[in-house]
A and B are shown apart, each in its own frame.
Chain A
Amino acid sequence: MTADRIPQWQLILEKLLEMLLPHGTQESILGDLRERAQARRLQGRFGSIWWVRRVLTLSTSLAAHRLRILLRRLPETARRTIRMSGFARDLHHAYRSLLRNPAFALAAAACIALGVGAVTAVFSVVDAVILRPLPYADPERLVVVREKNLENGRMGVLSPSNYRDFRDNTVSFEGMAAWRRASATLTDGRLPVRVTGRAITHQTFETLGVPLPRGRDFRLEEDFQDPPPLVIVSHQLWQGRLGGRDTILEESITLDGRPFRVVGIAPRGFRLPGEEGVDFFVSAGIEDVDNRGGKWLRAVGRLKAGASVAEARADIEQVARTLSEEYTGSNSGIGGAVAPLRDHLVGDFRTRLWMLLSAVALLLVLASVNVANLMLARASSKEGEFAVRLALGAGRRRLLSHSVAESLLLALGGGTLGVLLAIWGTSALLSLARESIPRLEEVAFDGRVLAIALASSVASALIFSTAPGAVAARMSLARVLSQGRGQTRTSQNRRTRRIFAGAQVALALVLLIGAALLIHSFSTLLSQDRGFRPQGVLTADVSLDEGGYPDGSSQSRFFEALLQRLNGRSDVLSAGASLYAPMSGGRLRVAILFPGRGENEIAQVLAITPNTFETLGMRLIAGRTLAPTDGAAAPSAVWVNETAARLFWPGEDPIGKELKLTLTIGDQPDYDRWRTVAGIVGDVRFRQLAEPADAQIFVPSAQYPVSGMTLLIRTEGDPMRFAGELRLEVAQMDPDLAVAEIAPLEDLVAGTVAEDRFYTVLLSLFAAVALALSAIGIAGVLAFSVTQRRSEMGVRLALGADRRQLVRLIVREGALVTLTGVAAGLAVSAGLTRLLEGVLFGIGTLDPWSFAGAVVVLAATALLACWLPATRAGRVDPMEVLRTS
């Protein structure tokens, strides 16, 4: 019977209760609660509802008690003012009144909680991602530095030589930092594990303004080729695998078979801008690398104090121009680009997050209107009570004051529930969004977020308190008395309620249309032709260490042998390997040279093995496919995709044409090797479904060996079932190798659309809630109508009306409300959907199918909402009505 049986949410509520309890009583009272809960558990009588009720009653009473004690301490004058205003009494009275109507109070609080919770949750994400400054020193002075293709405007990562020239020949920057991805196998006596890292230039931490809690940054002299084996480990790796040892700075860890001395520990949670968290950092070693063609460095720069982004941009562009004149081979047509770091990281998400925020704001209004409807219903039944009060001399202000007190309590209670809902909802949101949205790890419920929660509660209260307030304001004793007991001013009230219900329908339609647009856009995205067939293909990364495979030929021999084994298996349909898999986020962009042409082009380059085209299910359009005969000694051949053929040899047949890749093999730049185009393959969308394919060039890995490749294995059935076998195969070839990132290719594809799916799901959720709320609104109005018009209907029946006519009467009322709501909603949507401009794929913001679909769904729901009250109308018994009226 220990504490780990107790669920997390109960512990959180206990903590909150503890904060409310008077000092000195917390221990005994909370202990008593636990004791009673345990006793109930033993008897099998424990229920969460019981427990929550206990907590609620304890917290409200004791909080009130504390408040009273606090008030007693106030100076006498203040106390007298409060007492005179009677508002305290109104609050007390409102509290009691709400307790007497738990159904109403709960329904109202639930609506408010829903609205406030949604707003708070989304705002906490918007705050963390967009509004809060980045976790680096003076983040406003950080910019991202990239190369730009002047012809088509595409931006990309830098080559080492270009990076150094940008850094050294400009005057606007205080410093720059650059990095590329790295990964290694960590061996320490236990099972070898694959770790990810970044190779960073010297003083990267200093440039970012992030001090290392222990150890030091890399120095300039450590940033040359073949850098000394030093490593900075992440906080996570240090605390985890490395045991959090204090002596770590004097020790070495073994990466890819080599010992690396630990010289520093990165701060907890540190990430390079725009990157995920990694395990280690090594030196990039680029200070003396002469390579302008191969591009793989991501870079940021810190502006000098006083330098503007525009100045830095002009500066870089100037340097790029100079370089393009000097190095026509690799740099012609290449410019530089500078953009503020924050914009670069979150720019895309701004639109989408504001869209979400607008959606939840609508939801809040909708929920508040629902509460207003509830309050109107209640106010109608309390009119008699109000009238009596007026007769007894209560001023109109008192009635208003009472309504305000009630609204305030509901708003605060619902708002608090909303914050709890938001805390839970945000953790659910985060697990959905994961790597889709940057900076999610910074989401926290701080003062700003709570302030928004408070503001939403107040806004909600303002909306829904207009209802009973209006009722109270129009109160007149004479009017009430003249209508007789039990009869109230029905028509005015009903019209107000109908307006509210219509407003709810309109708001729900707006959200529905938004969701429909996103759903349509998402399905259009998914139906894009990827150019390959991911079903049934398993991907896995294998990296060879320099120790065991020191040169290109040993590397390519390994992969050749491995693939031979795999292809020989009966459970493998076909197997190949490429430098990186589609949709894996990998990309190698290289400058291409053509004979007789001055400028070069940039294309995506992949080293692949034979069988890769077939394994991926790519189309061969012309020429021949890659064969095992395309070995190291064979004539250099390449394959190009349709886009490359179109861009580089417009109107000509590319087969037989030649090109050069400005790549490095080992230490030698490979500028001099001409390669002949042997075939054309279909376009493959390598990065995102939404992005049309780059120009792609495929090189046989035997002719461009690489030390790490992604295996692509097509099997029958579920690809993951082959994972164990794959590990065995690799281990049999070399037990020191780790196979990493084993995943079905389909998962990688799904990952690229994860973000779109996230927004679509979320907005659909909001729309569904909105739909439900508006259906309740309509049903409520009609039910009210049926009750009010019972005598009228009884009379009609007695006079010979058909029951169906009564039903039609009610349905007509519902239809009227729905139609006006739909009309208003369509009008608003036509204007609002512009917000989705940059977000939709393949369809316009006024897509007729989405609009129509949303209207149909809404109409159907409204019809359903009419059904119950309408059937009640049909069952009215005229004799009973005539008797009781």
Chain B
Amino acid sequence: MPRDLIGEFEQMVLLAILRLDDQAYGVPIVEEIEERTGRRPADAAVYTVLHRLEVKGHVTSEMADASDERGGRRRRYYRLEPTGLAELRAARHRMLRLWEGLEDALEEGG
């Protein structure tokens, strides 16, 4: 198995970035994951993953929009890169293949 399959949490972050379009920075990414999964991820975990994804080249970031309420600090906006999108697709494909034929087990009461 290739050693750098992206993990579940990394997928969640990438999906959040995908959904948030051009508004993907720290605060809304965390909130998006919380809203969609019902569990709030640890801030530090999200930041760590974002950093790792950027190192791997799956996302890029740029600083923008300083504001008074942030004490004059800018936000770091993230954008999905083609490799990131490809990884997401591959991951989804893998899971679907694994689940193939087992959909019945997903039914309640089974």
- Chain A positions near chain B (C-beta within 8 angstroms): 1-3, 22, 25, 27-32, 34-36, 38, 54, 57-58, 61-62, 65
In angstroms, Cα B27 to Cα A38, docked, is 12
| Complex contact B63–A34 (CB within 8 A) | no
Assuming the A-B contacts A25-B47, A58-B44, are A32 and B68 also in contact, with contact meaning beta carbons closer than 8 angstroms in the complex? Answer: no
In angstroms, Cα B44 to Cα A242, docked, is 51
Tell me which residues across on chain A come within 8 A of B73, comparing CB atoms.
Answer: 27-28, 30-31, 34
Query: Which among A29, A34, A38 is the interface contact of B47 at CB below 8 angstroms?
Result: A29
Tell me which residues across on chain A come within 8 A of B70, comparing CB atoms.
Answer: 31-32, 34-35
Give how many A-B residue pairs fall within 8 Å (CB-CB): 62
| Complex contact A28–B43 (CB within 8 A) | no
| Complex contact A62–B63 (CB within 8 A) | no
B100 CB-CB contact with A under 8 Å: no
In angstroms, Cα B26 to Cα A36, docked, is 10
* B16 smallest CB distance to A (angstroms): 14
What would be 17 A-B contacts, judged by CB atoms less than 8 Å apart? A2-B68, A22-B51, A25-B47, A27-B74, A28-B73, A29-B47, A31-B75, A32-B26, A32-B70, A34-B69, A34-B71, A35-B67, A61-B44, A61-B45, A62-B48, A65-B44, A65-B48
Tell me which residues across on chain B come within 8 A of A35, comparing CB atoms.
Answer: 27, 67, 69-70
| Complex contact B47–A1 (CB within 8 A) | no
| Complex contact A57–B74 (CB within 8 A) | no
* B18 smallest CB distance to A (angstroms): 20
B42 CB-CB contact with A under 8 Å: yes
In angstroms, Cα B30 to Cα A835, docked, is 59
Tell me which residues across on chain B come within 8 A of A3, comparing CB atoms.
Answer: 68, 71
Contact-size category for B: 20 to 34
| Complex contact A30–B71 (CB within 8 A) | yes
In angstroms, Cα B67 to Cα A34, docked, is 10
| Complex contact B74–A38 (CB within 8 A) | no
- Chain B positions near chain A (C-beta within 8 angstroms): 25-27, 42-45, 47-48, 51, 63, 66-71, 73-76
| Complex contact B47–A27 (CB within 8 A) | no
In angstroms, Cα B75 to Cα A38, docked, is 15
Tell me which residues across on chain B come within 8 A of A28, comparing CB atoms.
Answer: 25-26, 63, 73-76
In angstroms, Cα B67 to Cα A511, docked, is 53
| Complex contact A58–B43 (CB within 8 A) | yes
Tell me which residues across on chain A come within 8 A of B25, comparing CB atoms.
Answer: 28, 32
In angstroms, Cα B69 to Cα A29, docked, is 13
Using CB atoms, name the residue of chain B closest to A33. Answer: B43
Most chain-A CB neighbours within 10 Å: which of B67, B73, B76?
Answer: B73
Tell me which residues across on chain A come within 8 A of B47, comparing CB atoms.
Answer: 25, 29, 62
| Complex contact B48–A31 (CB within 8 A) | no
In angstroms, Cα B74 to Cα A22, docked, is 16
* A64 smallest CB distance to B (angstroms): 9
| Complex contact A31–B44 (CB within 8 A) | no
* B44 smallest CB distance to A (angstroms): 3
Tell me which residues across on chain B come within 8 A of A61, comparing CB atoms.
Answer: 42, 44-45, 48
Tell me which residues across on chain A come within 8 A of B27, comparing CB atoms.
Answer: 32, 35-36
In angstroms, Cα B71 to Cα A169, docked, is 66
In angstroms, Cα B43 to Cα A36, docked, is 12
In order of increasing CB-CB distance, the 5 nearest A-B pairs are A31-B73, A61-B44, A28-B76, A31-B70, A32-B26
Most chain-A CB neighbours within 10 Å: which of B25, B26, B43, B71?
Answer: B71
* B63 smallest CB distance to A (angstroms): 7
Tell me which residues across on chain B come within 8 A of A54, comparing CB atoms.
Answer: 43
Using CB atoms, name the residue of chain A closest to B31. Answer: A36
In angstroms, Cα B72 to Cα A51, docked, is 19
* A25 smallest CB distance to B (angstroms): 7
Tell me which residues across on chain B come within 8 A of A38, comparing CB atoms.
Answer: 69
